[in-house]
């Protein structure tokens, strides 16, 4: 069973039954699921969690679905890696990387889609759909295949090949829209009411977004039941960022960790930084932008949760960091060369954002820090192609030695 009671509007508080809806009829505020935390507190404990599956579903009570018939590709419970080399390079003592590159379809989006697909089946849908900057399309197509559902994934036509192939291979209908993600999202929002499909990030959004909370639970558990001093997180719509904060606080309220003092830092790339720009200007009013960035997974110009993300920055005494387009690939290479993790552009944004936060003194040497690496670099190979400089030789030892002599 699910431990949720109703949906409520984040703005006016009006309550709604748990249906495939995401916006308040009265004030257009976003809807959010409400949990019965008292009931959860009676059945959930550190011990019960530790006895659960080695996936995000070990936290099932805090997800808005009945876990029995879950659509499960084993997303989550990804490694939290102590990053000594990168820490030394940056001047930190205790740095951890949450490596969500190794999820089933190679990004954190498997977490949100596992929840959304499960809820979609509960509601009786037979078709899963999404508006995506790439990774979501992969996760939706994969989970739909697993669930025996049809899927339609809508993407901007100029996405990286690794994202398109990484979605198409599971057999969805791929709809490549001539426009930005924001155009794609508007189109899907127009369609969501009429098609009878579960659009995971539109009419299923209140359920879907909760899946990101598991990124907080896992880190807290993996750190030995404590929250980090700093979390550095890449942002597009801002949803994951807000849900990591929510998840940490839920854990504290349930008594699994001490009250949360984590400072939440949101990282974006210069070519699309509407949330970070607002936060740095000290306003919650997000001015939409037309994205022009190589961090295509983060290219949302009109972020749905931007306002709430800025509020989280304020509430947690965090900050926003904007990295240049060059720093995106520099960050990817630094991560790969120091820690052996090949992350996509979003990871480059996170690592370069982290580097800036350390150099600006926001994050201090002794601070326990977690950086979220949310997607796999094999999907965005083209941006680091200049790393490919093989030494071409004939198949002889002499040729090899000659080539090495020239090189050194
Ligand atoms: C790899 C990766 N990281 C981070 C994000 C940001 O997610 P959100 O829209 O929840 O801010 C995305 C969004 O697509 C993504 O693909
Ligand atoms: Zn409302």
Q: Please give the distance, rounded to the nearest whole angstrom, from the Cα atom of residue 16 to the centre of ligand 2.
A: 10
**Tokens 């977690």 identify what position?**
370
State residue 407's pLDDT score: 81
Pairing of strands 4-9, 31-35: antiparallel
Do residues 140 and 130 touch, judged by C-beta distance below 8 A? yes
**Tokens 């520099």 identify what position?**
330
Q: Please give the distance, rounded to the nearest whole angstrom, from the Cα atom of residue 375 to the centre of ligand 1.
A: 8
User: Is the distance from the beta carbon of residue 269 to the nearest atom of ligand 1 less than 6 Å?
Assistant: no
Q: Please give the distance, rounded to the nearest whole angstrom, from the Cα atom of residue 118 to the centre of ligand 1.
A: 20
User: Is the distance from the beta carbon of residue 374 to the nearest atom of ligand 1 less than 6 Å?
Assistant: yes
User: Is the distance from the beta carbon of residue 107 to the nearest atom of ligand 1 less than 6 Å?
Assistant: yes
Query: Encoding tokens for residue 38?
Result: 């008292």
State residue 1's pLDDT score: 82
**Count of beta carbons in the 10 Å neighbourhood of residue 174:** 18
Q: Cα dist. 342→99, 286, 337, 376 in Å?
A: 10, 32, 9, 6
Choose the residue to mutate in 97, 108, 291 for probing ligand 1, maximizing ligand atoms within 8 Å of C-beta: 108
Sheet holding 4-9, edge to edge: 15-16, 4-9, 31-35
Q: Which atom of ligand 1 is nearest to the CA of 375?
A: 1
Q: Please give the distance, rounded to the nearest whole angstrom, from the Cα atom of residue 270 to the centre of ligand 2.
A: 33
Pairing of strands 80-82, 15-16: unpaired
* Residue owning the nearest CA to atom 3 of ligand 1: 374
Q: Where are the alpha helices (DSSP H) in 169-261?
A: 181-195, 205-208, 214-222, 239-253
**Tokens 């049809």 identify what position?**
150
Q: Please give the distance, rounded to the nearest whole angstrom, from the Cα atom of residue 6 to the centre of ligand 2.
A: 14
Nearest ligand, CA of residue 29? 2
Q: Give the whole-angstrom CA distance, residue 83 versus residue 95.
A: 6
Nearest ligand, CA of residue 159? 1
Pairing of strands 369-373, 95-99: parallel
Do residues 6 and 18 touch, judged by C-beta distance below 8 A? yes
Q: Which atom of ligand 1 is nearest to the CA of 239?
A: 10
CA-based nearest residue to 235, from 187, 172, 293:
293
Spatial neighbors of 335 by CB under 8 A, at least 6 apart, are 86, 97, 341, 342, 343, 347, 348, 351, 373
What residue segments make up the domains of the chain, in order of their start? 80-104+210-387
Q: Which atom of ligand 1 is nearest to the CA of 136?
A: 14
CA-based nearest residue to 123, from 174, 83, 65:
65
CA-based nearest residue to 73, from 104, 119, 52:
104
Q: Please give the distance, rounded to the nearest whole angstrom, from the Cα atom of residue 235 to the centre of ligand 1.
A: 6
**Could you say which DSSP state residue 67 is in?**
G
- Domain 80-104+210-387, CATH among 3.40.50.1100, 3.30.200.20, 3.40.50.20, 3.40.640.10: 3.40.50.1100
**Count of beta carbons in the 10 Å neighbourhood of residue 26:** 10
Choose the residue to mutate in 156, 297, 347, 383 for probing ligand 1, maximizing ligand atoms within 8 Å of C-beta: 297
Choose the residue to mutate in 110, 111, 234, 276 for probing ligand 1, maximizing ligand atoms within 8 Å of C-beta: 234
Please state the separation of Cα 11 from the chain's center in Å.
Answer: 24
**Count of beta carbons in the 10 Å neighbourhood of residue 294:** 21
User: Is the distance from the beta carbon of residue 237 to the nearest atom of ligand 1 less than 6 Å?
Assistant: yes
User: Is the distance from the beta carbon of residue 209 to the nearest atom of ligand 1 less than 6 Å?
Assistant: no
Q: What is the pLDDT along the chain (408 residues), one digit of tens a residue?
A: 899 999 999 999 999 999 999 999 999 999 999 999 999 999 999 999 999 999 999 999 999 999 999 999 999 999 999 999 999 999 999 999 999 999 999 999 999 999 999 999 999 999 999 999 999 999 999 999 999 999 999 999 999 999 999 999 999 999 999 999 999 999 999 999 899 999 999 999 999 999 999 999 999 999 999 999 999 999 999 999 999 999 999 999 999 999 999 999 999 999 999 999 999 999 999 999 999 999 999 999 999 999 999 999 999 999 999 999 999 999 999 999 999 999 999 999 999 999 999 999 999 999 999 999 999 999 999 999 999 999 999 999 999 999 999 887
Do residues 239 and 305 touch, judged by C-beta distance below 8 A? yes
């Amino acid at each position: 069973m699910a431990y949720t009671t109703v949906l409520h509007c984040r703005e006016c508080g009006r309550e709604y039954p748990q249906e495939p809806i995401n916006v308040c009829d009265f004030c257009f505020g976003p809807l959010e699921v409400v949990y019965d935390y008292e009931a959860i507190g009676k059945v959930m404990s550190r011990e019960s969690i530790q006895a659960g599956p080695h996936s995000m579903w070990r936290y099932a009570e805090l997800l808005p679905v009945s876990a029995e018939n879950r659509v499960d590709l084993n997303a989550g419970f990804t490694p939290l890696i102590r990053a000594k080399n990168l820490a030394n390079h940056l001047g930190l003592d205790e740095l951890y990387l949450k490596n969500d590159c190794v999820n089933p379809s190679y990004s954190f989006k498997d977490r949100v889609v596992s929840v959304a697909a499960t809820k979609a089946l509960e509601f009786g849908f037979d078709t899963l759909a999404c508006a995506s900057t790439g990774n979501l399309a992969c996760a939706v197509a994969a989970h739909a295949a697993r669930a025996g559902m049809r899927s339609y994934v809508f993407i901007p036509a100029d996405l990286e090949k690794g994202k398109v192939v990484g979605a198409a291979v599971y057999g969805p209908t791929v709809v490549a829209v001539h426009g930005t993600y924001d155009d794609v999202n508007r189109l899907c929002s127009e369609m969501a009411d009429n098609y009878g499909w579960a659009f995971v990030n539109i009419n299923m959004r209140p359920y879907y977004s909760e899946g990101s909370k598991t990124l907080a639970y896992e880190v807290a558990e993996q750190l030995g039941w404590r929250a980090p001093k700093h979390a550095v997180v890449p942002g597009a719509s801002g949803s994951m960022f807000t849900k990591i904060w929510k998840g940490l606080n839920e854990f504290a309220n349930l008594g699994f960790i001490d009250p949360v003092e984590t400072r939440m830092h949101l990282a974006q790339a210069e070519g699309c930084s509407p949330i970070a720009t607002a936060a740095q200007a000290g306003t919650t009013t997000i001015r939409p932008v037309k994205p022009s960035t190589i961090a295509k997974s983060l290219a949302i110009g009109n972020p749905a949760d931007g306002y709430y993300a800025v509020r989280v920055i304020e509430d947690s005494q965090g900050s926003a960091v904007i990295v240049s387009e060059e720093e995106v690939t520099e960050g990817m290479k630094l991560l790969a060369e120091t820690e052996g993790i090949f992350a996509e552009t979003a990871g480059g944004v996170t690592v370069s954002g982290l580097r800036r936060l350390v150099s600006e003194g926001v994050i201090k040497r002794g601070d326990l820090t977690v950086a979220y690496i949310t997607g796999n670099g094999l999907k965005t190979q083209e941006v680091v192609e200049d790393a490919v400089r093989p030494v071409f030789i004939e198949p002889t030892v002499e040729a090899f030695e000659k080539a090495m002599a020239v090189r050194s």
